[in-house]
A and B are shown apart, each in its own frame.
Chain A
């Protein structure tokens, strides 16, 4: 799997399951950081709150609450060997959850 190329735009909206096959959410956003002339991918954000985050809808802050916040998946926890069916390399519970 070295040097595989993946198209970000085709990952958008794909359902992600964890190592036990449970659904986690859809890929809605990807964070990255710029280091010199490189752009290093850091996390995949899943779930409906991530969608709101991407759309930067300020009005929706009111409606958060019932929910788990944004599910952040560090890039090393996501297995993209099959880009059509992304899987977590761990179980759901092991993911850090951002309450805000």
Chain B
């Protein structure tokens, strides 16, 4: 398996087949006393911002802290949840439960639902 070709930037799909975002980052844990392993998949705007530049990453992280408090924007999915690696990554989680999208929820509560017709 090639991590860049097959994992990074690929679509994640939850256990119900719903789209769950793209893999924005891959976290490798490098222990001196063992082979390095992929431990997490990361998704979030901060992770993306960092890929464009360090300063941008710092700025985005700062924003995320101010808005989200404890919740940073980037969400981590443990590798052991990955079931299959095909054109997408099938991940054994429920997109609804994981609240991958802190920004999505915030926008829904504070913007969309205040616009006429926005409330379901």
A residues at B contact (CB < 8 Å):
1-10, 12, 28-34, 37-42, 53-56, 75-76, 80
Measured CB to CB, the closest approach of chain A to B9, in angstroms, equals: 8
Contacts of A53 in B (CB 8 A): 2, 5
Q: Which residue from A10, A12, A40 sits with its C-beta under 8 Å from B37?
A: A40
Size category of the binding interface on chain B: 20 to 34
Residue pair A41, B25 in contact (C-beta under 8 Å):
no
Smallest CB-CB separation from A2: which chain B residue? B32
Say yes or no for B56: interface residue by CB 8 A criterion: no
Q: Give the CA-CA distance A42 to B28 in the complex, in Å.
A: 12
Q: Which residue from A4, A29, A41 sits with its C-beta under 8 Å from B35?
A: A41
Measured CB to CB, the closest approach of chain B to A26, in angstroms, equals: 12
* Pairs A-B, 3 closest by C-beta atoms: A8-B26, A37-B80, A39-B38
Residue pair A5, B26 in contact (C-beta under 8 Å):
no
Contacts of A32 in B (CB 8 A): 1-3, 38
Task: From A2, A41, A76, A80, name the one whose CB has the most chain B CB atoms within 10 angstroms.
Answer: A41
Residue pair A5, B39 in contact (C-beta under 8 Å):
yes
Q: Give the CA-CA distance A38 to B45 in the complex, in Å.
A: 26
Residue pair B32, A10 in contact (C-beta under 8 Å):
no
Residue pair A29, B3 in contact (C-beta under 8 Å):
yes
Contacts of B106 in A (CB 8 A): none
Q: Give the CA-CA distance A2 to B36 in the complex, in Å.
A: 11
